[in-house]
């Protein structure tokens, strides 16, 4: 075998080892712990539309866990959120208080409607590094100064091929919404989380 052929084979093997397997999400179930009562507290609607929750106390405006549009990829999830009204978009998370609000809110949703998935559910957020590998940004808020990566799982996952460019939150009840990078065309057990300004308030974040 020539030297060039050996190098070519090694390059292919390296590429395959770096690329994120499409089925990797399923492997996450190997370390699932039994769900338990996390003491989630009910959240009011406030002045938000029916079905939305009032996240204004942490600067999120109105928030909606969209179970009506399951298994949509990230571009479609973003389009679904924009379709709810002026200023509505896929959610952006800027600090720990906002994350804790979502852990509580989405934990309640999972307890009520997604128990049969046993933690194998995910939530789209707007964070991505589509423009430049490793530079994660929010479409509205810009650079991500706060993150909640699943570091024990190796996140953000090395992605030299620049293929896994979107970010999903894992189950609120089972994984506390830890973030993971994944393919933007993922449609497996995933739902959009949308936000919009409170009525009469502009969304300047």
Do 93 and 63 contact (CB within 8 A), yes or no? no
Task: Return the pLDDT at 205.
Answer: 47
Q: What is the pLDDT of residues 35-92, one digit of tens each?
A: 445 678 899 999 999 999 999 999 999 999 999 999 999 999 999 999 999 999 999 9
Q: Give residue 164's pLDDT band: very low, low, confident or very high (50, 70, 90).
A: very high
Greatest Cα-to-Cα distance within the chain, rounded to the nearest angstrom:
71
Mean local confidence (pLDDT), 88-116: 97
* Residue pair 93/125 in contact by the 8 Å Cβ criterion: yes
| pLDDT for the residue numbered 40 | 84
Global confidence as pTM: 0.84
Structure tokens at 127: 């964070």
Decide: helix, strand or coil at residue 126. strand
Integer angstrom CA distances of residue 1 from 16, 43, 126, 127, 184:
21, 66, 48, 45, 39
Annotate 105-133 with b (16+ C-beta within 10 A) or e (fewer): bbbbbbeeebeeeebbbbbbbbbbbeeeb
Pick the residue with more confidence: 66 or 205? 66
Structure tokens at 44: 């009011």
* Cβ 122 vs Cβ 109: under 8 Å: no
């Amino acid at each position: 075998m020539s030297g060039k052929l050996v190098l070519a084979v090694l390059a292919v093997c390296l590429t395959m080892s770096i690329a994120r397997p499409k089925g990797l999400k399923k492997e996450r179930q190997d370390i699932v712990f039994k769900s338990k009562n996390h003491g989630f507290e009910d959240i009011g609607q406030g002045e938000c539309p029916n079905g939305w929750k009032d996240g204004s106390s942490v600067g999120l405006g109105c928030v909606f866990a969209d179970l009506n549009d399951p298994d949509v990829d990230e571009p479609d999830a973003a389009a679904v959120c924009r379709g709810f009204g002026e200023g509505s978009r896929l959610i952006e998370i800027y600090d720990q208080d906002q994350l804790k609000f979502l852990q509580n809110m989405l934990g309640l949703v999972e307890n009520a409607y997604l128990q049969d998935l046993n933690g194998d559910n995910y939530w789209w957020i707007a964070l991505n590094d589509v423009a430049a590998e490793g530079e994660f940004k929010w479409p509205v808020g810009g650079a991500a100064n706060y993150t909640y990566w699943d570091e024990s799982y190796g996140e953000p996952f090395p992605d030299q091929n620049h293929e896994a460019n979107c970010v999903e939150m894992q189950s609120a009840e089972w994984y506390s919404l830890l973030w993971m990078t994944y393919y933007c065309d993922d449609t497996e057990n995933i739902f959009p989380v949308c936000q919009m300004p409170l009525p009469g308030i502009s969304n300047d974040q």
